[in-house]
Amino acid sequence: MATKGEQFAGLSVAIVTPFQDGEVDYAVLGEQIEFQVAAGTNCLCPVGTTGESPTLSHDEHERVIAFVCETAAGRIKVMPGTGSNSTAEAISLTKFAEQAGADAALQVAPYYNKPTQQGFYEHYKALAEESGIPQCIYNIPGRTGKNIEPETIARLAELENIDLVKEATGSMDQASAIISSTNLTVLSGDDSLTLPLMSIGARGIISVVGNIVPQDMIALLTAFEAGDLKKAQRLHQQLFPLCRNMLGLSTNPIPVKAAMKMLGRDPGELRLPMTALTESDEALLRDTLAEYGLLEPATA
């Protein structure tokens, strides 16, 4: 049985949405796209969790998708976030993305209203039937409030256009169940779990830290695929403090936006209810970037 969604194996980067004076900064967004193209990243994932999609208006959400697809111009794949806790809204946004030229759609599990497993199934089934592009099930119960169980994902895997899973449950057992029972391409949804998940059959990562060091994440994936486990382990250990603090110091994308600013790639402000890092966490982040070799160490 052929693996579905294999073209999305490798590094996808969940890019941030830059804001300036309350508006989307398309010039900086264009710079981000060029940065990832130059790095050799396989796919861009705009307007997801990292892209602050909950604070974008519907018009902004569509405009960002259209801009990324147009700027990418086939040089890099585009898998925008088009999910919603309203099935009709998710279908509408997914159809827009398809018409704009997106290669796939990242579909977060319906949040807040906590569907039954049958509700999840019917939601994704409707998306698969209404769209002609691959759908990536984005399972992140820590944000949505409910897990899509492996049995439900196995049922969905039988449908045309359900090709991928972004696995962000943190459960190796759940990932193992999906990998062993389906032909879906599983992508890690947690940077620090990329290598462990690859070891059980995942095929890549939708990455936050890839906003900063995409080449290093590509090197890890390439080493593992080449069978060089020692090199992959070394890269995992090197990346781990950065991965941990990108998602551990504060809610994503607060730390990654702060890090990008420190590295001279300022993505502007956050939108409420997202707020900036505290001074102490900013200092910890700066130390992490310095230890990684991305910044000069602070002088006493």
What CATH number does the domain containing 143 carry? 3.20.20.70
> pLDDT by residue (tens digit) across 177-200?
999 999 999 999 999 999 999 999
| In a domain? residue 96 | yes
Q: Is 166 assigned a catalytic role?
A: yes
What pLDDT sits at residue 246?
86
| In a domain? residue 278 | no
Instruction: Say how many domains are in the chain.
Output: 1
| In a domain? residue 214 | yes
Instruction: Give strand ranges (E) for 25-155.
Output: 43-44, 77-78, 105-108, 135-139
DSSP 10: E
Q: What's the pTM value of the predicted model, to 2 decimals?
A: 0.96
Q: Residue 133 has which token pair?
A: 């592009």
| In a domain? residue 283 | no
Q: Which domain holds residue 57?
A: 6-228
Out of 4, 77, 166, 257, pick the active-site residue: 166
Residues of the chain short of pLDDT 50, as ranges, are none
> pLDDT by residue (tens digit) across 17-49?
999 999 999 999 999 999 999 999 999 999 999
Q: What is residue 135's three-state secondary structure?
A: strand
Out of 138, 146, 257, 292, pick the active-site residue: 138
The DSSP bridge partners found for residue 44 are 13, 78
Q: Is the distance from CB of 139 to CB of 150 less than 8 angstroms?
A: no
| In a domain? residue 241 | no
| In a domain? residue 218 | yes
| In a domain? residue 181 | yes
Q: Is the distance from CB of 276 to CB of 253 less than 8 angstroms?
A: no
Distances in whole angstroms, Cα of residue 278 to Cα of each of 270, 281, 300 = 14, 5, 20
What pLDDT sits at residue 299?
64
| In a domain? residue 36 | yes
Measured N-to-C along each axis, helices 87-100 and 58-72 cross at an angle, to the nearest 10 degrees, of 30
Element (H, E) at 30: helix 26-39
HSE-up (13 A, CA, CB side) for residue 162? 23
